[in-house]
Amino acid sequence: MEALKGRDFLGLTDFSPREMQELLQLAAQLKAGEVKVSMECPKVLGLLFYKASTRTRVSFSVAMYQLGGQVIDLDPKITQVGRGEPVADTARVLDRYLDILAIRTYEQEQLETFAEYAQIPVINALTDWEHPCQMLADLLTIQECFGSLSGLTVTYLGDGNNVAHSLMLGCALMGMNVRVATPPDYQPVPGIVEQTEKIAGGKTEVILTDDPIAAAQGSQVIYTDVWASMGQEDSAESRIPIFQPYQVNQQLLSNADPEAIVLHCLPAHRGEEITDEVIEGKRSRVWDQAENRLHAQKALLVSLLGIQ
C-alpha cells in the first residue's frame, strides 16, 4: 500500500475507509500466507511504552521479527525520556536512529508531539484517547466471521474509554452501526461522539444509551472491556456496583442476534465485565481477536514502511 508509506497512525481517522479496507485485506492475506513480504535491509522498530502491555508489545515485536526487522524496547524507566528530557528532543534523536516508532502513553498530545518532531512513521499503540491498533484487529475478526462489515451492528457495553472511542470511529468509517451502553456518568467524550456522527453522516446509526438490554437487541457483535482502565485502578472497586448491569453474561447475550459473536480486547476481569461462561463459550472470538493483533499490525508495518 504505497499510499500509506511514511505516514503516521495516530488515530483511526488518519486513514480513509478505502485505505482501512485495503489494510484489512492485506492483513487477511498475510494471515493466510497468500502474500509474503520481507525486508531486503532490516529496519528497526522502537517501542516506547509508558504503560504495561502484553498483546501490543508482543504482537508488534513478533510482527517485526517475522518481517525480517529488529525491535528495540525503549523503556522510559531506563531512558532519558523518563528523567524529564523534552519530548521534542527525544523525538528528534530517535528519528535519526529508528525507522518506525510505536508509542503507548497517556496523553494524545504527547503522541502528537512525537509525530510533529520525528519524520519517521509514529504509531499510536494506545493513549487515553484512542486504541486504533486494537480496532484494526477487531475489524479483521468481525470481517472473518461475517464476510463483510457494512451494515452490521456492533454493541459496546461498559466504560466509555479509549477502546469505546476507537470502536465508534472504526464502525462509522466502515459503514457499521454502533451502539454504546454505559452508565450515565461514563459516556464517551463529546468530541469522539461528534466525530463519529459526522463520519456516519446519518447513513449508519450511532446510539448512546444507558440501557444495556436495548443496546444488545439484535446486535451481531457484543463487545466489552474492563470497567477501570490503566491509571484508574484506585476506583476499580467502587465501579463494580455501577457497572454490574452492563456485564456480558448469557442473559444479556440472549438479546443479541442468534449468530452474534463476543469480543473483549483483554485483559479480562472474569466475573466483572464478562462471565467465564461467555468468554469461554461458543460465541466468543476473543482468542481469534487477540491473534489478529499480530496480523493487523504486521499489515500496518508493511504499509507504513513500504515493504515489498
pLDDT tens readout for residues 51-104: 999 999 999 999 999 999 999 999 999 989 888 899 999 999 999 999 999 999
What is the H or E stretch that residue 276 is in?
A: helix 276-279
pTM assigned to the model: 0.96
Q: Would residue 232 show up in a list of annotated catalytic residues for this protein?
A: no
Catalytic residue from among 131, 179, 239, 285: 131
- Cross-strand partners of 122: 101
Q: Would residue 264 show up in a list of annotated catalytic residues for this protein?
A: no
| pLDDT value for 56 | 98
Q: Which residue has the cell 436495548?
A: 214
Catalytic residue from among 159, 265, 289, 295: 265
Predicted confidence (pLDDT) at residue 138 exceeds the cutoff of 80: yes
Of the pLDDT bands very low, low, confident and very high (cuts 50, 70, 90), residue 308 is confident
Catalytic residue from among 55, 133, 134, 195: 134
Mean pLDDT of the chain: 96
| pLDDT value for 20 | 98
**Measured between alpha carbons, how far is 57 from 82 in angstroms, rounded to an integer?**
19
Predicted confidence (pLDDT) at residue 236 exceeds the cutoff of 90: no
Look at residue 268 and give its three-state secondary structure.
coil
Residue pair 238/214 in contact by the 8 Å Cβ criterion: no
**Measured between alpha carbons, how far is 263 from 284 in angstroms, rounded to an integer?**
6
Look at residue 157 and give its three-state secondary structure.
strand
Which amino acid, residue 100? I
**Matching fold, domains 2-130+293-305 and 134-289:** yes
Residues 283, 55, 140, 12, Cα dihedral to 10°: 130
Superfamily assignment of 134-289 in CATH?
Answer: Aspartate/ornithine carbamoyltransferase (3.40.50.1370)
Q: Would residue 133 show up in a list of annotated catalytic residues for this protein?
A: no
Of the pLDDT bands very low, low, confident and very high (cuts 50, 70, 90), residue 155 is very high
Residue pair 23/297 in contact by the 8 Å Cβ criterion: no
CATH domain 2-130+293-305 topology: Rossmann fold (3.40.50)
Residue pair 123/133 in contact by the 8 Å Cβ criterion: yes
Catalytic residue from among 8, 293, 295, 297: 293
Of the pLDDT bands very low, low, confident and very high (cuts 50, 70, 90), residue 244 is very high
Predicted confidence (pLDDT) at residue 271 exceeds the cutoff of 80: yes
Q: Would residue 18 show up in a list of annotated catalytic residues for this protein?
A: no
Predicted confidence (pLDDT) at residue 232 exceeds the cutoff of 80: no
| pLDDT value for 305 | 97
Predicted confidence (pLDDT) at residue 234 exceeds the cutoff of 80: no
**Measured between alpha carbons, how far is 269 from 228 in angstroms, rounded to an integer?**
10
Predicted confidence (pLDDT) at residue 298 exceeds the cutoff of 90: yes
| pLDDT value for 1 | 64
Q: In the predicted model, what is the mean pLDDT of residues 240-245?
A: 97
Give the lowest-confidence range in 53-67, 198-212, 218-232, 265-279. 218-232
Of the pLDDT bands very low, low, confident and very high (cuts 50, 70, 90), residue 228 is confident
As a whole-number percent, the residues of the chain with pLDDT over 90 amount to 91
Print burial letters for 171-210: b (CB count within 10 Å at least 16), e (below 16).
Answer: bbbbbbbbbbbbbeebbbeeebbebbbebbeeebebebee
| pLDDT value for 40 | 85
Q: In the predicted model, what is the mean pLDDT of residues 119-132?
A: 98
Tell me the three cell numbers of residue 231: 491509571
**Measured between alpha carbons, how far is 221 from 207 in angstroms, rounded to an integer?**
15
As a whole-number percent, the residues of the chain with pLDDT over 70 amount to 99
Catalytic residue from among 99, 138, 159, 225: 225
Catalytic residue from among 104, 165, 239, 295: 104
Q: Map out the domains of the chain as residue ranges.
A: 2-130+293-305, 134-289
